[in-house]
Amino acid sequence: MSTQKGLLFDSTMCVGCGECYRACKTTNKLPETNSDPLKDHLSCSTYTVIEDHQGKYTRKLCMHCAEPTCASVCPVGALTKTSEGPVVYDENKCIGCRYCMQACPHSIPRYEWTSNNPRVRKCIMCHERVKAGMQTACAEACPAGATIFGNLDELKAEALKRIKESPSTYYPHVYGMKEGGGTNVLVLASTPFDQLGFVTNLPDEALPNFTKRALEKIPTVVSAGTVFLGGMYWLTKRKNEIAKENAQAKERKN
C-alpha cells in the first residue's frame, strides 16, 4: 500500500460553510480577500475556494498530481512532488518564469504580480502539518466531513465504496483517480464534473510523458536549441563583461 497522503472531497456532503477556506487562510497566514468565501476566487492570497454551482458546492485547490506537470516544466526545481504526496514550492529557487502556471492543466498556480519580490502561490496540502502526522487544516476544520484526509489508497477505496453503496447519489466516477495520471486530491459529486467547473478532457496518462516522448523524437532540434541558447548566454555574458571593462577604463581615465 502506498504511504502517500491525500484528500477526498465529497461535494454531496458540502454545506458551503467556508470553514475549510477560513482554516486555510489562518494556517497559511493569508490576508482576508473577501468576507464571503463563496464570492472569493483563487489568487496569490487564496489557496482554496468554495464554489456554488446552482446549489451544489465544490472546492477548488491544487490537485497535487501524481506526476505534476508544473514540476516537470520548472527549469530550476522550485516545484517538487514530496514522498508524502503534496507538491511543494521553494521560493528561493524560483526564477519567476511562470512555466508552471502555463503547464498546470487545472490552472491553479497564481503569481504575486504586485509584489517587488513575486512568488508563485498555491495550496501545498499543509505539508509541514502532514510531515508532523497531522491532518490538513481544511480537513480538520470541515464540520460536515465533506473533506477528509488520509492514506491515498484508502481514500480511493472509500470513494469507490461510496459510489457502489449509493449509486443514486453519486455520478459514477471519482475525479482525480485517472485524470492526467491521477492526483492526490479526489472528488465525488452527484453530477458530471464539467458542470462543477472541473477540467474533464484530460488523458489518463501523466502529461509529462507526452513531453518526454516529443523530446525523444527531436534530439537534433533539442541539441541545436541547447547550443543556440548556450551561445546566446555566452554572447550576452561577454557583452556585459566588455561593457563593464569599458566603464572601468573610462573611470580610470577620469
Residue 189: count of CB within 10 angstroms of its CB: 24
In tens, the pLDDT along 120-140 reads 999 999 999 999 999 999 999
**Cβ atoms of 45 and 31 closer than 8 Å:** yes
Distance (Å) of CA 45 to CA 9, 77, 141: 22, 23, 19
* Alpha-carbon gap, residue 185 to 85, rounded angstroms: 10
* Alpha-carbon gap, residue 86 to 128, rounded angstroms: 10
In tens, the pLDDT along 204-216 reads 999 888 766 655 6
Evaluated on CA atoms 100, 104, 109, 112, the torsion sign reads positive
Q: Enumerate residues 6+ apart whose C-beta is below 8 A from 102.
A: 73
**Cβ atoms of 136 and 148 closer than 8 Å:** no
Q: Determine the distance from the C-alpha atom of residue 251 to the mean position of all C-alpha atoms in its chain, rounded to a whole number.
A: 51
- Fold topology of 5-206: Alpha-Beta Plaits (3.30.70)
**Strand, helix or coil for residue 232:** helix
If DSSP states are collapsed to H, E and C, what string results for 112-176?
CCCCCCCCEECCCCCHHHHHCCCCCHHHHHCCCCCEEEEEHHHHHHHHHHHHHHCCCCCCCCCEC
**Cβ atoms of 19 and 38 closer than 8 Å:** no
pLDDT mean over 139-163: 98
Could you tell me the pTM of the whole model?
Answer: 0.83
Q: Could you tell me if residue 60 is left (phi over 0), alpha (psi between -120 and 50 degrees) or otherwise beta?
A: beta
pLDDT mean over 55-73: 96
| All structural domains of the chain with their residue ranges | 5-206, 218-253
In tens, the pLDDT along 169-203 reads 999 999 999 999 999 999 999 999 999 999 999 99
